[in-house]
Structure 1
Amino acid sequence: MSGVVLDDGALVPAYARQPVQFVRGQGASLWDADGVEYLDLQTGLAVTSVGHSHPAVVEAIRAQAAQLIHVGNLFRATAPGAELAQRLASSSLGGRVHFANSGTEANEAAIKMARKAKRGGNVVSVHRGFHGRTYGSLSATPQEAKQAPFAPLVPGFFAVAPTVEALTAAIDDACAAVILEPIQGESGVYVLDDAVLRAAREACDRVGAALIFDEVQVGLGRTGKLWAYEHTGVVPDLMTVAKALGGGLPIGAVVTNERFAEGFEAGDHGSTFAGGPVPCAAGVAVFDIVSDPALLARVRERGERLRHQLAELPGVVEVRGRGFILAAELDPSRAEPATALIGRALRDERLVLNATGPTTLRFLPPLTITDAELDDALARIARLLDPQVSA
């Protein structure tokens, strides 16, 4: 397939696409249609966390697809779905699991579950949050550029500053749920203060509201612990996961505590494809990899080292994040915005990066990336940021 770039002009232009067509991936590397190799520090936005085409994930998909691809949810869960649900619940909140196809769908289900339990009520989120693009999750995403074209949104959603005082004041008897990302990834990797999470937990307990943690981007080892909330000492009632869970296949999930284990009755919510045997088989393989204590320890240790290394690069004024979800804030006086820099990174350094704003670079390397690959990536980033290069 070398040199062949298939025309994608039949697609609706809903994405700002870079002019590269990838045809193969392995580990931390991607190859384009001309056979050129790239180093991937974006991982499909935290999806291919175990690397591209991990042998265990590929084999799980192959074996399950040869046995049973789809049967639907009008029968008992297939073995991969039952096993993955058990692992997700027992490793975290101890309740049950409701499968979805994506992070935004998982958040929709969690919001519905919380509102049903309270027989209605408001949903509180915080500024800079991102929870998806379907109507409920979009209504919980207080970003004007994303919301405005699709108004009117779902009523009963309110956003406040991510502070103890603002959350405490907003969470009252009319509140059904508070939805928070422990680390706000899409807006630039902002770690919510533990005091803010504790205040939300205490206020939810006071009024009987559900505390939802959106771990769609930061769960499954991305922070160096299996779940991001484990860093904080604050345990939610409901947790949403997706992205990395299927190793590249579409799958999401709501994990409940015991209180919400009976949160849905038959007919309350559903999906044709959710919990299918193939993505769940991939999920079991992914879970085996990312729950390895040695891998998690390395992500914590190497992530901290990466923080310091990024902070030493020219033009970097701040580094935020934890483990392998990091953001480098660039000097705003730079003439070249981060959104242009990622295009040059792709073209000149064969490096796949992501920008969340005009001065923010986000780094989401595979959890399995080697030290040599990280050192290589840092050298490429340093060349990109060198004033002589970017002038």
Structure 2
Amino acid sequence: MEELKINFNMYVPTRFIFGCGRLNELHEQKLPGKKAMVVISNGKSTKENGSLKRTIDELTIAGVESVVFDKVQTNPLKSTVIAGAKTARDNGCDFIVALGGGSVIDASKVIAAMATNDGDIWDYISGGTGKGKAIENDPLGVICITTTAGTGSEADPYGVITNDETNEKIGFGGDDRLFPLISIIDPELMKTVPSKLTAYQGFDALFHSTESYISKYASLMSDMYALTAIENAAKYLTRAVKDGSNMEAREHMAFANTLSGIVMTVSVTTAEHSIEHAMSAYHQELPHGAGLIMISKAFYEFFIDRHACDERFIAMAKAMGIKEANKPEDFITALVDLQKACGVDELKMSDYGIAPDEFDKIATNARETNGFLFTANPCEMTNQDVVDVLRNSYR
């Protein structure tokens, strides 16, 4: 890997309101309209834990009417986003409140764009069968209230959407107007996330930073965020998994997650994300974080075996707690130890219906739909290399 460049671009215009109990300050913010569509998942959590009622109450205090759209699934589908945009238009909503995890926030950004623009979502997707058109009309404003520490989507202008007709899972956006206007990151809202999902989401946040740190697009600025996020995730994720009510752990994981979101606006993640998006494009029920965990050891070993960026892996091993680290393999040790401590080291592709005869198809899909991320890899990775990573990860 060539010497790190100091040059970087950075633009994160989102107002972050971070800390326990700070959902209570929503009504004090300058809100972008008078009628909100509150987007939540198709599950029960925000209704049962009271966060939906609290959010609607805060909007009411601020003089804002609201309607609820509760259809977003784990890997949000194109059809769901189309329905959300129609609901926003039909109800005259002038901004979106995303209350949930990464899937809800991702879907909300795309809904915000499609509520004000004509055509098909895939007209605006770059990659795969997308037409790569620019968004013409300003999207609705988006306010995020994140209930998980996973995707960092509260800090970036992207939303990942699945087209189940074409088996494509691709990032939408990149337009500066899709940055959330306000993101409330209240770790108290994360207390009820089950331990398994806490682990999946926490590793997603970790990998945003580990990938961006070894990326060819890394800079001194992205490194600063990435290493701090890696340190916090490595130190606090196990505690959050083992005791969801440990607010110190929840706070630090929420911090790591938001930093990892910012990292992705300064650097670029690698093909680890391309591969997982292809896996879950064919297997809708596969949680994104779980898919990343499954392939992570083999993925990073690929670059270590080629000595693509030895010093970077050593630095990450140190950030993850191996202070005496002196070889890149120490990163793998730290990674596997963390997965074991969180109880996710035995995840199986076969449990989600993934079979070895799909590996070629997944490798091809990864490059066709999210090929740009392959340019961020610290060395060349061919389709056969991707197949090998999948094969080495399979059980």
Say whether the fold is shared (TM-score over 0.5): no
Greater percentage in strand: 1
Q: TM-score, normalised by structure 1?
A: 0.33
